[in-house]
Structure 1
């Protein structure tokens, strides 16, 4: 078996300081709780020139006045194109010869069609009622299994070189791979809508006279496969993907329902059923109605050992459903539900609406083959990687009680696309947040959480089609009781964007429950970014900080972050000293002081910076014990400012300096 590891460092969560020790974690987990300063990890020298100083200098090049050190520049999925894809440096995860270091799953792709529905890719271009196929057409029926096997799992022109194998290799940092063999095409004994119209989604409505709906496609498809190859051949596979000819309802109900017709009465006969006694609309999952044609298609789903997909299902749908096969549940809401409920983990998580990620966003998922939305889904968030066993050993495991004993922990976390894990903080004794009511408060998380997770997202690899790069903070549960991941939204206000325009010209805004409300949820370092750089959970006695960002010569993004308990600063003595500085005004009238500040305490600490009347690019900084750095202070309308530094661990430890303008 061949395997490959990243050329970038496997150490993705570097503990910069805990309880006074400077520590680098060589891909091993920190002990539970705070940390033992006697842990025999190798010492790491903290450079005198911090990465954020280099980043800041680059940001200020050619500009005057103070600039945000980490501005938020989120993009909605709807406007993304393939130009947004950015490869992960030093990897070759799509290479079929590179197998999972722990396991390569062996899957069967079993294709089925119907007496009334051949595979769309065997038909002329744009010939179906949905305007498909697009890009591939007029294939022979016998060639369809090989085509879809290669489209899903062999790098090629149509899939832009991206595969299911690549997704799992990147998501697991090379631990899990996927291999596919194709079978079929097998024709089902009933019409396509007899499988597509089912009790859960259509609530017993819309079955044409003489037909028997709510049939079990998985049962009939497996029976046809076993009849063709036998149980012995089928037993060779770890799982089965059943691929159905035609569209899937998840990708068509809105685009060919409420987006195409203003009311259900407007649905035309063309989009109605073959039974004229039935209305042209039908019930669907999230809202009252869609066109009958959209409702008659299957909804992707998974059960133990197998999943169902259709031709419009993008590669992310397969990754999503395979996650279910591996034992992780769904974590998303009804965006149109009453009462309204905010989405749980949004575009950042494969088992939430990150499945929809890809060029063109959620309203482009109806294409056949699936080359747009849902073709490049997000990675799993840290909670799910831990459950799947693909987070690795570099998760920094902390606890609420342990932090109270150890004091503040400072760490540098790399972007998850590069193999990073992140930080998990256990809430011993459970979530102490005040109760809230999901029936009256759309932003109520429901309570009952067991952990916080912190990770870094960069728009790179399969995360290229996430909306932003920054720090992702979430509350999580150990059990799959949705919501079991609740993204902490750094910008919880209504994003106030148009979702689509009705045929009568009426714009429809994104609902409060729309997953794209979380497009601007990431935390960013420094002031003036358009986001936030800290989060305090008073009830759970935790304070999180985003201190700085850096990008190395390979282009790998990392953030320096910190977390501390509000109930204990640890045993170390805290102290700080600062010196005055002067500056001259530039041609724009701004003057910049670089105030020297030194941590005179016995442990790494986070310091709060304040300077009334001045502008500060950052108001929290971390320093190891005995180290000195500089803090920028900008003046324009005054000649002098008093700058104070206060330990976040011990408010009694503080220092004052002045910034003065010369001339």
Structure 2
């Protein structure tokens, strides 16, 4: 197996000479003359091509010449993504620092600290640490480090490929929120790095070297050093503080330099062990029993009281995640290795879940310094959190309620991809209030890993497209979720259109054994989005019988600017509304083509007064769309494909009133 240091040597194909700030290049530009560093790294990390390495799910092949799915699901695992997956949001330049937030541009301080035993990694020679860092930037003077990290985070440049934390918040909020950063430091902490990194909750009281005092408050000591340098008045002028610690972070190293590098805890080498020979080379960590001592001694990013802690390996997404906490939204993720197992809550689709890990190379590339791979391009916030953060227009969210739907009947509308400013008549999503509470039957998280825990207040529906910061989400489609009003995790529960085990390899153990993704792994939700039509590899409808709701994904459209939208519908199972329902259709015929298929276009008229969803059924035939929406008094087309000369019955029924039905024929002739 290739060594970690070898991996980074391969990654470091792009060398940047830094004499202070980053060289500014156009937003999204690639380094001049540089290739994609992730490709050779991935080729070394996975030495043989595997069927799961670049997994795109295609529609079933079926018979030759058969109608193709109208909206096939083609998801990709984050691990195999590269910077070539990035697509710009049309008509925007959110990374431009001159473009300010229309509601607020937050003024933040970036305060850098190092330790007697740990200088900033970017001041060291390339690939010189036990982790094989730094990569791409090295040998900076200590005095250059604050400006370097300020610009790496918030000035469009070569190393960050033109992407900044200001850009993230401007895109996520459609121009409402921006971020400015000023850098301070470097300040030397009074204690060794492990005195702060080893603490009681994650290390469970283990691993503190003799004579040391572990669990020290890094935030308090960092703030004290900053205040001593600039004074309380200047510090108070900032809206928030990012404390940046020299070295790795534990979130990005506990697995890669634990079970991925060593077969057992007894195999951890002295290089990754503690300075105290009386201690073992392994130590406790957050999610599993052990990791290497060195990985356990790194800080874990966190936020509290208007500030957050990050390390050099923390990608830009980590800062966006922690700033979300500063703005008042909690975490929404599970322990992927818990016993009993528990499915992830919102997966790669949400910044406050594992969408923080998104970026080229996926979750196992987050240890790089600087953080240019996994966690460098995190997902946007899901609709529930955008509403809470106040970064989506109230008028852009269609607000429905379960009780009102029973009285109004089915609602049909179109929802625009969340990456695009809804503006005008566009909708950013739908929120359906569960009046009287969640009626789903009780389930037990101790025995059912797919149990959502109940007590939800709403459903949300939105559209995700792989563009902008969502370029590194696994799929484009319709995202459906149950949500709570309070931050009581799980407060967002993604409805998984493919709830079965995704059955993919996560990584290969040092002894060569493939390790599958756990049921709790966030990538289990890579194929969770709903798609329009039949045979997509996903689902086009979802029924929650207990909560008396039926959701439909009807049609997919991408306009001339590349903006994705879906026609969707939702109805109550307890009432069809006051409108009369009626259906009329006409038989149709078509000639067989060279492949032996005939396609009938059947005119279907909604003879009722309101919008309706009509179901098309034709046993023995292919129906690309099993549900179609037709406005009252209007006509649409239902397509039915028949193989071979024959006549099939086609039944078309109102979903609102199944008694409103008609049957016609599709005749295939030579």
TM-score (normalised: structure 1) = 0.90
For 1:146 and 1:605, how far apart are their aligned partners in 2? Answer: 59
Shift of 1:652: 1.1
For 1:419 and 1:299, how far apart are their aligned partners in 2? Answer: 34
Q: Map 1:332-481; keep pairs closer than 5 Å.
A: 332-393=333-394, 394-420=396-422, 421-481=428-488
For 1:199 and 1:168, how far apart are their aligned partners in 2? Answer: 34
1:619 is matched with 626
Instruction: Give the total of aligned pairs.
Output: 602
2:419 match: secondary structure? helix
Shift of 1:459: 0.3
Q: Deviations over 1:502-546 (max 9, x none)?
A: 100111100000000000000000000000000000000000000
- Indicate conservation of the 8 Å contact 1:171/1:419, yes or no: no
Q: Map 1:128-527; keep pairs closer than 5 Å.
A: 128-393=129-394, 394-420=396-422, 421-527=428-534
2:98 is matched with 97
Shift of 1:351: 0.2
For 1:430 and 1:625, how far apart are their aligned partners in 2? Answer: 32
For 2:277 and 2:644, how far apart are their aligned partners in 1? Answer: 76
- Indicate conservation of the 8 Å contact 2:598/2:644, yes or no: no
Aligned residue among 583, 594, 598 for 2:601: 594
For 1:661 and 1:534, how far apart are their aligned partners in 2? Answer: 29
For 2:86 and 2:337, how far apart are their aligned partners in 1? Answer: 30
- Indicate conservation of the 8 Å contact 1:247/1:298, yes or no: yes
2:527 match: secondary structure? coil
Q: Deviations over 1:549-575 (max 9, x none)?
A: 000000000000000000011000011
Shift of 1:662: 2.2
Shift of 1:210: 1.3
For 1:163 and 1:638, how far apart are their aligned partners in 2? Answer: 60
For 1:638 and 1:308, how far apart are their aligned partners in 2? Answer: 69
For 2:420 and 2:545, how far apart are their aligned partners in 1? Answer: 33
Matched, 1:543 2:532: no
User: What are structure 2's unaligned runs of at least 5 residues?
Assistant: 1-60, 423-427
1:54 is matched with none
1:455 match: secondary structure? strand
Q: Greater RCO between the two (CA within 8 Å, min separation 6)? A: 1
- Indicate conservation of the 8 Å contact 1:613/1:638, yes or no: no
For 1:347 and 1:637, how far apart are their aligned partners in 2? Answer: 44
- Indicate conservation of the 8 Å contact 1:107/1:238, yes or no: yes
1:662 is matched with 669
Q: Deviations over 1:346-380 (max 9, x none)?
A: 00000000000000000000000000000000000
For 1:339 and 1:419, how far apart are their aligned partners in 2? Answer: 41
1:640 is matched with 647
Shift of 1:638: 4.9
- Indicate conservation of the 8 Å contact 2:333/2:346, yes or no: yes
Which segment drifts farther, 281-290 or 410-419?
410-419
For 1:488 and 1:162, how far apart are their aligned partners in 2? Answer: 31
For 1:446 and 1:610, how far apart are their aligned partners in 2? Answer: 36
Backbone CA RMSD of aligned residues: 0.9
User: What are structure 1's unaligned runs of at least 5 residues?
Assistant: 1-59
For 2:418 and 2:515, how far apart are their aligned partners in 1? Answer: 34
Q: Deviations over 1:322-369 (max 9, x none)?
A: 000000000000000001000000000000000000000000000000
For 2:559 and 2:595, how far apart are their aligned partners in 1? Answer: 32
For 1:534 and 1:630, how far apart are their aligned partners in 2? Answer: 20
For 1:662 and 1:133, how far apart are their aligned partners in 2? Answer: 69
Q: Deviations over 1:37-71 (max 9, x none)?
A: xxxxxxxxxxxxxxxxxxxxxxx9xx932110000
For 1:578 and 1:656, how far apart are their aligned partners in 2? Answer: 8
Q: Deviations over 1:95-132 (max 9, x none)?
A: 00001000000000000000110000000000001000
TM-score (normalised: structure 2) = 0.89
Q: Map 1:36-75; keep pairs closer than 5 Å.
A: 64-75=65-76
1:559 is matched with 566
1:76 is matched with 77
2:196 match: secondary structure? helix
For 1:428 and 1:237, how far apart are their aligned partners in 2? Answer: 42
